[in-house]
Amino acid sequence: MALVPTIDEIDARWLAEHLALGDATHVTASSVGHGQVANCYRLVVERGDAPTTSFIAKVPSLDAVSRSTATLQHLYEREVSFYRLLASNVSIRTPQCFFARRDEEDGFLLILEDLSPAALIDQFGGIDVEVARHGLAALAGLHGPTHALEDLHRSSWLRGVSEELAPIYASVLPALFDQFLARYDERLEDDVRVMVTTLRDRLAQFSNYATPNPCVTHGDFRTDNLLIDACDGAVPLAVVDWQTIGVGSPLLDVAYFLTTSLSADDCVRHETELIDYYLDAMSEQQVRISPAVAHHEFARYTLQPIVMLVAASVIVEQTPRGDEMFLTMIGRAVVAATRWNALEELEHRVAS
C-alpha cells in the first residue's frame, strides 16, 4: 500500500496497523462538509462487540484545479505540519489528530477526532456575539503562545512558504482581481465593484506591512471552519482547516473573523466591544497590544477577506454554494472596510 492511502484503501487492516484498532472489523466512509480544496469523510468503524468508533479523514480534492491550487500554495503541507508540529503546543481547541502524513506527490491523509454532533451554523446566517467571544478566545489561544517566537516563525512551512509565495502573489493577484470582476460582473453591487477595483491598484501597499506583534495566524478563521457546540455541546468551539496557517498580525485573524462571520449589523454594533474582549484575552496570555495599534491593524485587515476571497473565488472549483459564499463574505468585508476607512489606513506603513 502507498505511504499515503486513498480513502478507499482505509480498511480494518489499515486501522489495526496505524491506529491500534485491532478489533476493527469493518469501515464505512461517507462524505461530510463543503470543502473546496480538500475532501472530508466520516469513517464509522465497527469493532466486534465494542461500540462503533468514528473519525474524520481529510484527503486531497478530487478536482484538478483545486488540487493544483493547493499544491502551488502549500496548503496540504501547511495543514499536515500544523497537526504534526504545532497543535499540541497551543491552547486553541482543535480535533485530536491520530494520523498525519504527506508524500512527495502532495498526497496527504489526516485522521482526526470526530467532534460531531455540532450546531448547524453556516457561513451565510452569521454567528451571535457569544459565539464570537468563544472564537476570539480561541484565537488568543493560538496567537498568545506563538507570539514573537522567531525560531518557529522562520520554519520552512511558515515563513519559508510565505517568502516563496510573496513574489508569485504579487505577480498574479492583479490578474485574479480582473478575473473576479469579469466573472461576477452582473452580480456585484457598486460598492463592491469600486472597492475591488481600487484595491487592485493598491495590493503592494496592502502587502508591504510588518506588524509589531507577529504570531502564528490561522488565515481563514470563519464560521465554516469552526465546530460550534461540538460533541453535542460539550465543546463550545473547535477550529479546523489549517491550510492557510502563516505568520502575521493577530488582528488579521480577528478582522477576518468578525467581518465575515457576523452579520453586517452585528459587526457595527459589537465590533469595538469584541476587539476589547480579544485584547483582554491576549493580556491573559501575557501579550499586551495597545488599543491604538489594534484599531489601526483591524482597519487594515478588514481588507484581508477581500484580497483572499477575490483570489480564491477564481482559483478553486466553481460551485453555486461557493459563489454565494465568496460574494456574501466579500460584501460583508466591503461594508466593514468602508466604515473603517481601510484604504486610507494602507498609507500607514508602521502602526502608531
As a whole number, mean pLDDT of residues 266-273 equals 95
pLDDT given at position 56: 98
Model pLDDT, residue 316? 83
- What pLDDT score was predicted for residue 1? 53
The fraction of the chain above a pLDDT of 70, given in percent, is 98
Check residue 33 and give its pLDDT: 80
Confidence at 208, pLDDT banded by 50, 70, 90: confident
pTM above 0.85, yes or no: yes
Q: Pairing between strand 97-102 and 215-217?
A: unpaired
- Cell output for 215: 504570531
d(CA 233, CA 9): 33
Any idea which architecture 129-345 has in CATH?
Alpha-Beta Complex (3.90)
**Model pLDDT, residue 331:** 95
Q: In the structure, what pLDDT confidence band is assigned to residue 348 with cuts at 50, 70 and 90?
A: confident
Query: Where exactly does CATH 3.90.1200 map onto the chain?
Result: 129-345
Give pLDDT tens digits for 162-192: 999 999 999 999 999 999 999 999 999 999 9
Decide if 343 contacts 202 (C-beta within 8 A). Answer: yes
What's the CA gap between 200 and 212, in Å, rounded? 26
Please compute the mean of the pLDDT values over residues 280-293 and round it to a whole number: 97
Angle at the Cα of 91 from the Cα atoms of 42 and 247, rounded to 5 degrees = 90
Superfamily of domain 7-113: Phosphorylase Kinase; domain 1 (3.30.200.20)
When pLDDT is averaged across residues 275-287 and rounded to a whole number, the result is 98
Find the radius of gyration of the CA atoms of the chain: 20
Q: Are 159 and 247 in contact (CB under 8 A)?
A: yes
| Residue 167 preceded by cis peptide, ω within 30 | no
Is 199:343 a contact under the CB 8 Å cutoff? yes
Question: Do residues 57 and 111 touch, judged by C-beta distance below 8 A?
Answer: yes
Distance CA 125, CA 336 (A): 17
Give CA angle at 10 (8, 14), nearest 5°: 150
Residues in a beta bridge with 237: 228
Numbered ranges of CATH 3.30.200.20 in the chain: 7-113
